[in-house]
Structure 1
Amino acid sequence: MKLKSLLIANAVLLGSFALQAHAEDEAQLIKQGEYLSRLGDCMACHTVSGKGDYAGGLAIESNLGTIYSTNITPDKEHGIGNYSEQQFSDAVRKGVLPNGSRLYPAMPYPDYAKISDADMHALYVYFMEGVKPSSEQPPETDLSFPFSQRWGMRFWNWAFTSDKPFQPIGGASEEVNRGAYIVESLGHCGSCHTPRGLGMNEKALDSGDDQFLAGGSLNSWDVPSLRGLPRWSEQEIVDYLQTGRNDKAAVGGEMKSVIEHSSSHMTDADLKAIASYLKFLGGNPALQAYDVKKQQATEAKLTAAKGLSEGERLYIDNCGACHFVTGKGAPGIFPELDQATIVNARDPGGLIHTILAGAQQPSTEKAPSTLAMPGFAKRLDDDQVAKLATFIRQGWSNSAPAVTKDQVAEVRKTLKGE
């Protein structure tokens, strides 16, 4: 009897240890999955202010119409609570739902296809066990014909996606390959920074093609190339992704959300890996040769404040206090205008939008202050904004085409409340 009791006690003890080990493993997987969800920026698209995390309902504007993000909480009726791990993986990596219907590539599954099996497992555990269920019912996406026919995505996927797993870059360091994995999979940087083809497809999905991260266009904003970033050091790339600002630039447009919800939560090691990978890519020449004489001439004229054009006068009156006569701004506070990518972009829409609507830097752990630039939509008319933007695009060492008042009028139409 004593031996039997001892065996039973040992079995109970072993079972207790096993349960504890399982609970610890699951807790670690949930923590890992939560971090991976930050790398994938799931929060930004699937969360609306005032609603539960991941409850969906965000309106995503596209060339096809408005697409609403879905509820990805573990709610069994309105969310993904009934998904098996394989069904979860198929939705994330292939854009295929359990009922066979197809997601639109506003969900960046062409990039997520490279997520490893181990990371996918951790994500599944997190969304099923670490996220609070929500019964929120987001609006249904209802695009016009023929885009409403989701079955057609089967052919789009066949033509423009790949199920090839992530391929490490031969001869590259471990750090570079870690950065490559993040950028090419969970980070889905290519979905905005890679040019699109006629089928609205990313022209390249990894670093094996020179078009990858070579720049694109999003909602009338020119999206810059990330290949090499010759004007930025690796530390400046890290600073920008971590805080939304560095000594040369401050975040604007869609990147504000990326930094607020994703990159500011990344580890220093992962941010350094991303920076190392982007610098490794190379192939991105500087905007133009820096014209010292032209820069000095603009600075001298603004300093003298004599014989100013209307664009120059508008700059002194509205912009000079923060960006100064040098166009250099204040490192880490107010961004440079001289040689800035948004200033010299082919499409001036981003610059026009910033002048009209202003901009605000996100609050992050490493940079909690939220410095804001006021918008001038109510203060300046279309012609004044055009002349101001033209001066900025052609002053100092910049050499971009002039802006017309018609271009300003088109951007003004997109502003909320205008």
Structure 2
Amino acid sequence: MKTRRTRPWMAALASCFLALPAGAQTGAAPVTGSLARGEYLARVGGCANCHTMPRDGIPFAGGRPMSTPLGPIISTNITPDPVHGIGRYSFDDFRRVMHEGTAPGPKHLYPAMPYTAYTKATDEDLRALFDYLRHGVAPSDYAPPPTRLPFPFDQRWALRFWKAAFLPSGRYVDKPGKDAEWNRGAYLVQSFGHCGSCHTPRGVAYQERGHDESARHFLTGMVNDNWHATNLTGTQGAGLGRSDAASVAHFLRTGHADGNIAFGAMAEEVEQSIQYLTEADVRAVAKYLKSLPARRNEGAYSPDRPDAPGPRQGDRTGNVESVGARVYKSFCAQCHQPDGKGVAGTFPRLAGNASVLGDDATSLIRLAVQGGRGPRTATGPAPQMMPAFDDTLTDVQIAQVLTYVRQSWGNTARPVTTNDVTKLKSKLK
């Protein structure tokens, strides 16, 4: 199997809720009492994932390169080291970083740091997080290399105008008429969870096109680091419209629900962070997500239509999809089953899978090319591997088998073209 390094896009943009366990670091103070709250928020906020080099990096010491359309951005050291970290920060310094995107200096931060979400966090939560980073994390004198973007993106002073135009103002305020659980879920999704960083489309100035449920583009999905973050609204086809709140909560906890399995960046998020959310917080997040109205009609699933669950008529008449049907039978059906329903808890279903039905097929193509695995969680099934087919199937065959999958068993989604496959493969090299 051919593997390629995945570079996360815009720091936390690939890490809604993503973080690594922080309390067991050598040299860190024991995490007890109030520090436990800060550790929990660090996990929810994805601090360690972005500020730790992959493959045995020093926790929170930075140095991880993050691929962005502007160029690579290097994460900083946020350990309590007084020279290379935040050891000399006051709480007001830290609060300005989180709420305003401005570090001491002053130094305007690129929105790779999701301060557009953290600006909604309460001062009390930021104080707990600050105390944890100062007293619950081991200091490191590692000095990450500086970020060097090409002109004009290296002109940080211009970010003050970007922030004036696009940085939301004020902390999260409970919505009247909504109960405490809904508001807790909204707070987590919009602030520390920064789900919109991955799942909300961006505009021409690289800004999120909405920061809460009042915006029609909020959480409707977008491509990050060559993965497509799915639509989290109530859309029936490619969204959460066909899942109930209990299923959404179970998926967040285990990475498995309704025959769906987390993969790619989402598998990493579930494995390293979301599974550790409290039961109350998981339910709150699920309740909030399920309250979002349907946006952006994408794909459709009709299990009762005449040609479901079998292949379309075109697959039996020499049409191009017949190649896709043969490839599916040879390489896919053993795991995903001839009817596309998969094996519960082991191999995901393809019939009615929201990731299959989305307008954007980036994630499907990447899985076919590179393979992948499900998340390892405390309460979910053991993770299974999907093999890479880059060396086995041609670009034409990959396009045709994915088109077959997207148009069989009641699925209705746009075809995948050979050019779609070729273009993505060039980006993954």
TM-score range, shorter chain: 0.7 to 0.9
1:43 counterpart = 2:48: yes
Aligned ranges 1:268-347 → 2 under 5 Å: 268-284=279-295, 287-292=299-304, 293-298=306-311, 309-347=322-360
CA contact (8 A) 2:301 2:412 kept: no
Q: Deviations over 1:281-313 (max 9, x none)?
A: 23346842515222233299999xxx9811101
Specify which of 22, 33, 38 is matched with residue 33 of structure 1: 38
Specify which of 163, 170, 190 is matched with residue 164 of structure 1: 170
One-letter amino acid of the structure 2 residue matched with residue 194 of structure 1: T
CA contact (8 A) 1:298 1:396 kept: yes
* Matches of 2:150 and 2:189, distance apart in 1: 33
Q: Deviations over 1:43-72 (max 9, x none)?
A: 211112212111111121111111111111
Aligned ranges 1:324-403 → 2 under 5 Å: 324-367=337-380, 369-403=382-416
Q: Secondary structure at the match of 1:222?
A: strand
Aligned ranges 1:166-181 → 2 under 5 Å: 166-181=172-187
Give the share of equivalent positions with the same residue, in percent: 39
Deviates more, 1:401-410 or 1:127-136: 401-410
* Matches of 1:283 and 1:132, distance apart in 2: 45
* Matches of 1:339 and 1:83, distance apart in 2: 50
Structure 1 residue 163, shift from structure 2 partner: 2.2
Would the alpha carbon gap of residues 415 and 93 (structure 1) be closer, same or farther in structure 2, given more than 3 Å must change? same
Would the alpha carbon gap of residues 300 and 198 (structure 1) be closer, same or farther in structure 2, given more than 3 Å must change? closer
* Matches of 1:300 and 1:383, distance apart in 2: 21
Structure 1 residue 31, shift from structure 2 partner: 0.7
Residue 210 (structure 2) aligns with: 204
* Matches of 1:67 and 1:279, distance apart in 2: 34
1:183 counterpart = 2:221: no
Specify which of 70, 80, 87 is matched with residue 76 of structure 2: 70
Residue 140 (structure 2) aligns with: 134
CA contact (8 A) 1:89 1:120 kept: yes
Q: Which has the higher helix share?
A: 1
Structure 2 stretches lacking a partner, 5+ long:
1-30, 235-239
One-letter amino acid of the structure 2 residue matched with residue 141 of structure 1: T
Q: Deviations over 1:61-84 (max 9, x none)?
A: 111111111111111111111110
CA contact (8 A) 2:241 2:294 kept: no
One-letter amino acid of the structure 2 residue matched with residue 51 of structure 1: G
Residue 62 (structure 2) aligns with: 56
Residue 237 (structure 2) aligns with: none
Residue 4 (structure 2) aligns with: none
Would the alpha carbon gap of residues 88 and 65 (structure 1) be closer, same or farther in structure 2, given more than 3 Å must change? same
Structure 1 residue 174, shift from structure 2 partner: 1.0
Q: Secondary structure at the match of 1:79?
A: coil
Q: Secondary structure at the match of 1:395?
A: coil
Specify which of 260, 271, 277 is matched with residue 271 of structure 2: 260
Residue 15 (structure 2) aligns with: none
Q: Deviations over 1:347-391 (max 9, x none)?
A: 222111000111111212222622111111111121111111121
Would the alpha carbon gap of residues 308 and 168 (structure 1) be closer, same or farther in structure 2, given more than 3 Å must change? closer
One-letter amino acid of the structure 2 residue matched with residue 388 of structure 1: V
Q: Deviations over 1:256-277 (max 9, x none)?
A: 2322222111111100000011
* Matches of 2:154 and 2:326, distance apart in 1: 50
Structure 1 residue 279, shift from structure 2 partner: 1.0
CA contact (8 A) 1:44 1:257 kept: no
Structure 1 residue 342, shift from structure 2 partner: 2.3
1:415 counterpart = 2:410: no
CA contact (8 A) 1:247 1:332 kept: no
Deviates more, 1:367-376 or 1:196-205: 367-376
* Matches of 1:341 and 1:255, distance apart in 2: 14
CA contact (8 A) 2:253 2:274 kept: yes
Q: Secondary structure at the match of 1:142?
A: coil
* Matches of 1:41 and 1:174, distance apart in 2: 24
Q: CA RMSD in A?
A: 2.1
One-letter amino acid of the structure 1 residue matched with residue 231 of structure 2: S
One-letter amino acid of the structure 2 residue matched with residue 33 of structure 1: G
* Matches of 2:113 and 2:61, distance apart in 1: 15
Tell me the TM-score normalised to structure 2 length: 0.86
Structure 1 residue 143, shift from structure 2 partner: 0.8
Structure 1 residue 404, shift from structure 2 partner: 2.2
Would the alpha carbon gap of residues 265 and 120 (structure 1) be closer, same or farther in structure 2, given more than 3 Å must change? same
Structure 1 residue 221, shift from structure 2 partner: 3.6
Q: Which has the larger radius of gyration?
A: 1
* Matches of 1:289 and 1:373, distance apart in 2: 24
Would the alpha carbon gap of residues 82 and 308 (structure 1) be closer, same or farther in structure 2, given more than 3 Å must change? closer
Specify which of 91, 101, 111 is matched with residue 97 of structure 2: 91
Q: Secondary structure at the match of 1:217?
A: strand
1:247 counterpart = 2:253: no
Aligned length: 388
